[in-house]
Amino acid sequence: MTENLNFNQELPNYESTEVTSVPGFSSSYQTILTGKALEEKDEEPVEISGILSAPADFLERKKENWEPKNCHVLVDYYNGSITLKTDERTFNHNTIKGALTESRVLGKFNINTGKRYSNFELAALFRVNKYWFATPEDQSRIIAELQKFQANVSTKIKAHNDNSGNSVSSLEKEVNGISWNRTFRLNIPIFEGYPKVLVPVEIGVEPTSNDVKLFLESPELYELIESTKGGLIDEQTKRFDAWGCSVVRVS
């Protein structure tokens, strides 16, 4: 008995052939498949990039899926990243990377970048970012200080231009002699996805021949970045200790 079945284009023909009693077969029918077989596909590897905690978060509820001795974690202190690789000897191993990236909020202020502002530009920046000041009073005070500072500077520049014998260095002394409170604090996240911290900031002053430019600087920010980065990396690295995979520091 022969039966031809057409299930789909990939497997166009099924043939069933009646056979006589054959030792080892419990049925009197044997199915023979002809046509193009379905293409074998390998499992897709998982590749994820996220914040620093991403590798440990990914592994948290999946530990039983992999043998720890076949996995490893790479810790890169210099670049602030942690990478988990599972099934390390297979070509389709999974790679989960977490990294510390500067928060977009911190990037708005361009602290320690050397970017120059006019007093109007800086005041406008502070007005639309009130939420990130440590207190509303800090924001109001610094904007008022900027306005008073500009009035004083305008007077000094006019006097400088009216006296052709003055030099740029003389103008610089005049401007730097103006007394005003140029310090304030921001309450902002340093790294994307992590809590806010207090950052002391100071407004720097740079007189030119006929103008004054302002910039934002914070020596404390350098220290905060390094100390926070080290603490966060150590905290996440320890999450792999109990699992027992290899943890390798690459920098």
Does residue 67 lie within any of the structural domains?
Answer: yes
The reply to whether 54 and 147 lie within a common domain is no
Model confidence pLDDT, tens digit, residues 156-196: 666 665 555 455 556 666 666 567 788 999 999 999 999 99
Q: What is the pLDDT of residue 81?
A: 97
Does residue 224 lie within any of the structural domains?
Answer: no
DSSP-derived secondary structure letter, 70: G
Number of domains forming the structure of the chain: 3
Low-confidence residues of the chain, pLDDT below 70? 1-29, 150-178, 209-210
Does residue 106 lie within any of the structural domains?
Answer: no
The reply to whether 144 and 208 lie within a common domain is yes
CA distance 186 to 200: 6
- Residue 80: give the domain boundaries: 47-101+230-249
The answer to pTM > 0.85 is: no
Does residue 223 lie within any of the structural domains?
Answer: no
Walk across the sheet containing 72-76 and list its strands: 47-50, 94-99, 81-86, 72-76, 246-249
The reply to whether 122 and 201 lie within a common domain is yes
The reply to whether 117 and 209 lie within a common domain is yes
Does residue 107 lie within any of the structural domains?
Answer: no
Q: What is the pLDDT of residue 121?
A: 92
The residue count of the chain comes to 251
Does residue 40 lie within any of the structural domains?
Answer: no
The reply to whether 66 and 13 lie within a common domain is no
The reply to whether 122 and 88 lie within a common domain is no
Does residue 118 lie within any of the structural domains?
Answer: yes
Does residue 41 lie within any of the structural domains?
Answer: no
Give the pair of three-digit tokens for residue 35: 């046509």
CA proximity to 161, closest of 174, 147, 145, 148:
174
Q: What is the pLDDT of residue 153?
A: 66
Model confidence pLDDT, tens digit, residues 100-116: 999 999 999 999 999 99
The reply to whether 117 and 212 lie within a common domain is yes
The reply to whether 97 and 120 lie within a common domain is no
